[in-house]
Structure 1
Amino acid sequence: MNAVPDITLNNGVKIPQLGFGTFQIPPADTRAATLTALEIGYRHIDTAEMYGNEKEVGQAVRDSGIDRDDIFITSKLNNPFHEPAAAHAAFDQSLADLGLAHLDLFLIHWPLPALGKFVETWKALEEIYRSGRVRAIGVSNFQPHHLRRLLEGSVIVPAVNQVEVHPYLTQDEVRAFDAEHDIATEAWSPIAQGKVLDDPIIVGIANTVGRTPAQVTLRWALQRGDIVFPKSVTRSRVEENFALFDFELSEGDMAEISALNRNERTGLDPDRNNG
């Protein structure tokens, strides 16, 4: 088994730097895919209320036979629940659907800036955190101006900010703001829905180091210090995505990949997504 390094969050909680993402995995396929990931060695699972597969993730965790405390599990607050009371109820529902007594990380999934309630929603997450039922809280898809407003009106600094990051969207400004405030950056869609895998620069580096384009892209993200969770329902690809810790990219390779930035999203713009 490859040894996945931990990153220590700003409250002292340790999170595996490589995880298994369940975004876009249908509920019918989620249990088997998550079990496969756990068998291969993943100990970090990322799900969300919005994905509709929390029950299946929880079932896989139970069926794996692995001690619950050895698996880091993240879920996220769905967009309709930005009222504080609704956020509390939604968190309770996530725990019930997962069949867990606690979560390791719970995030506000989107800032929904037109709604303008993410600060009071964050205060609800602070209350949940203080209840001891979640080990860390954070945000997802927050831009620096969202984070500035959040930090001005809150007590707890988010432990993580989960944003779309890949070679075509390097998110340098967001990552710099996160680092300045001791917020860990998590990268979703780390291979840009596959769009970067045919890029000549990435293919060339992959050929040089004897790895696949996906492995090179994921390794780039890891060496930048991001927490990464690729997803696949194909066992061979899940294994491939886990085999990242017995090689390194050179500084030149890293710079070439970073230079591919186009500020090109595969997902929604956080300033335009309002639920």
Structure 2
Amino acid sequence: MGSLTLQSTVKLSSGHLMPLLGLGVYQNYSAKGAVLDALKAGYRHVDSAQVYRNEAHVGEAVKESDVPREEVFLTTKCVSKTHGYESTLKGVDESLQKLGTDYIDLFLIHDAYSGTELRLQTYKALLESRDMGKIRTVGVSNYNIHHIEEIKAAGYELPAVNQIELHPFCQQRPIVDYCNKNGIVVQAYSPLVRAQRMDNPVLQAISKKHSHEPAQILIRWSLQKGLVVLPKSEQTARINSNAQVYDFELDETDMQQLDALDQGKDGAVTWNPVDIP
């Protein structure tokens, strides 16, 4: 794992490369400054969503930065209230306009609340948008195994990505194992546990051992697990420190101690809607 760098990527089933570290912009309604800070710090991956209401800010930051568009991996998502074939096609065009780009690197179904029929209509629309060149890769978010199996049963190709809440306290192991076996890359959202467990004694001890902040330990754990990690911050100093995770490595004992913190779904700190029908 020592060869990991800020520019490390994973190859998706779509053939495209995705940076392992991204900036999350959930609830950042003026995300432009954070994205500019992140791009300056070396990030090349930004995770937004239609419901975040900041796609335009993300697009403006990319345009105003000195980083070429083709070097930035942009993700957005469509939430359940917008699901459906026609509404998804329209939503893709609206996201393209707001982001100010000709293509979106990764488009995710944000959640599975809409039910099987609308989920599959939405997925079909995203695949067609990809075939038209508007999207490069199609994936899902907050999907459990049965949601992905319904895609397979409908005869569609599997999603390239599944983005779920994931950190040492909520490891979602059955979903991760399924995704790993099926070539689906797992993205970890809320990897910093929304700062709610930073005083955990195990995390504090490992933090002191490596002379790195608890947040950096959590990010490094995700990277060493082979996850794509999406820490969120609006503060320049935090955005910078969250990227400084490549000058140390967690040893086997560290990883085992962090793995042992898993509380299953009880450890979740967000909506984590993976168990809906």
Match of 2:46 in 1: 45
User: Which residue identity does 1:180 align to in structure 2?
Assistant: K
Q: What is the alpha-carbon distance in structure 2 between the residues aligned to residue 14 and residue 94 of structure 1?
A: 21
Match of 1:84 in 2: 85
2:161 is the alignment partner of 1:164: no
Q: What is the alpha-carbon distance in structure 1 between the residues aligned to residue 7 and residue 244 of structure 2?
A: 10
Q: Secondary structure at the match of 2:31?
A: helix
2:261 is the alignment partner of 1:260: yes
Contact kept, 8 Å, 1:79 with 1:110, in 2: the verdict is: yes
Q: Secondary structure at the match of 2:162?
A: strand
Q: Secondary structure at the match of 2:56?
A: helix
1:238-273, Cα deviation, whole Å (9 max, x unpaired): 111000112110111111101101122111142567
Contact kept, 8 Å, 1:4 with 1:245, in 2: the verdict is: no
1:176-232, Cα deviation, whole Å (9 max, x unpaired): 010011000000000110122111001100100111100001100010000011111
Q: What is the alpha-carbon distance in structure 2 between the residues aligned to residue 268 and residue 211 of structure 1?
A: 29
Match of 1:229 in 2: 230
2:6 is the alignment partner of 1:3: yes
Change (3 A) 1:39 1:271: closer
Match of 1:194 in 2: 195
Match 2:25 to one of 18, 22, 35 = 22
CA positional deviation for 1:150: 1.4
Contact kept, 8 Å, 2:186 with 2:227, in 1: the verdict is: yes
Bigger Cα displacement from structure 2, 150-159 vs 94-103: 150-159
Q: Secondary structure at the match of 2:186?
A: strand
Q: What is the alpha-carbon distance in structure 2 between the residues aligned to residue 241 and residue 97 of structure 1?
A: 27
Q: Secondary structure at the match of 1:59?
A: helix
Match of 1:72 in 2: 73
CA positional deviation for 1:12: 1.4
Superposition misfits of 4+ residues, deviation over 4 angstroms: 113-116, 271-274
Q: Secondary structure at the match of 2:136?
A: coil
Contact kept, 8 Å, 2:204 with 2:214, in 1: the verdict is: yes
User: Which residue identity does 1:178 align to in structure 2?
Assistant: C
Q: Secondary structure at the match of 2:269?
A: coil
Work out the number of aligned pairs and report it: 271
Contact kept, 8 Å, 1:5 with 1:16, in 2: the verdict is: yes
CA positional deviation for 1:114: 4.2
Mapping 1:98-177, distance limit 5 Å: 98-112=99-113, 114=115, 116-177=117-178
Bigger Cα displacement from structure 2, 164-173 vs 150-159: 150-159
Q: What is the alpha-carbon distance in structure 2 between the residues aligned to residue 161 and residue 114 of structure 1?
A: 17
2:59 is the alignment partner of 1:58: yes
CA positional deviation for 1:79: 2.1
Q: What is the alpha-carbon distance in structure 2 between the residues aligned to residue 204 and residue 62 of structure 1?
A: 42
- Of all paired residues, the percent bearing the same amino acid is 35
Q: What is the alpha-carbon distance in structure 2 between the residues aligned to residue 207 and residue 159 of structure 1?
A: 37
User: Which residue identity does 2:224 align to in structure 1?
Assistant: Q
Q: What is the alpha-carbon distance in structure 1 between the residues aligned to residue 57 and residue 193 of structure 2?
A: 25
Contact kept, 8 Å, 1:168 with 1:260, in 2: the verdict is: yes
> C-alpha root-mean-square deviation of aligned residues, in Å?
1.4
TM norm structure 1 = 0.95
Gaps of 5+ in 1: none
1:78-115, Cα deviation, whole Å (9 max, x unpaired): 22221100000001000001111101000000011546
TM norm structure 2 = 0.94
User: Which residue identity does 2:23 align to in structure 1?
Assistant: F
